[in-house]
Amino acid sequence: MNRILSAARFHLIAPWLLLLPWGIMASSLAINIFIWGVADIAGQTNGQGSTGGVASLYGTLCIVYMQAVPGRLPFAMGLSLIRRTFYLGTSLFAALQSLAYGVVLYALLLVERGTGGWGVGLRFFRGFWVVDNPFLQVLIYAVPILVLAFLGVTVGVVYKRLDRWVSTP
């Protein structure tokens, strides 16, 4: 178990990869607030309009996990980690990260509700399903993150295998 925790901590080598999705989503939020404020979209949609800007977080996380295997696995194996331990550590890290991101997204949803849609009637963090149960809402945010993380790891594994197969003389 200690090796799996070490493999999970291994993903903290590049902390900017944890901040990159939030930076992209924050820029998407700022652009949406500006557009909604200038164009008065909330008034045109009777307060029912929403945006899919939070998908930028999901997409960026998927790309980060696509790069996790080809970028970090060779270095991890050089540090005597086996593939199984790396995969289990990556899975643990993805599960904890998705849960933490789900909690933060729920907190941002509460801030959005409290500010009246960031002052312009914008529903940025309101996804397709919004429920009154906080635990279920965190899961609604976290499960797609976890699924996309595993999808990214799978694509990274396939890329790594095909890259090895194609580059062999």
pLDDT value for 79: 79
Residue 169 has what pLDDT? 60
Q: What is the pLDDT of residue 128?
A: 67
Q: How far separated are the first and last CA of the chain, in Å rounded? A: 39
Question: Is pLDDT at 147 greater than 80 in this prediction?
Answer: yes
Q: Report the percent of the chain where pLDDT is more than 70.
A: 91
Domain definitions of the chain by residue range: 2-167
pLDDT digits (tens, 9 = 90+) for 129-142: 778 889 999 999 99
Alpha carbon separation from 80 to 74, 85, 156, 160 (Å, rounded):
10, 10, 20, 19
Condensed to tens digits (0 to 9), the pLDDT of residues 78-93 reads: 878 888 898 999 999 9
Which pTM does this prediction carry?
0.88
d(CA 107, CA 125) in angstroms, rounded, equals 10
For residue 58, what pLDDT band results from cuts at 50, 70 and 90?
very high
Which residue do the tokens 């003389």 mark?
169
CA distances from 2 to 13, 73, 95, 110, 146 (A): 17, 18, 17, 37, 23
**Bigger pLDDT: 48 or 156?**
156
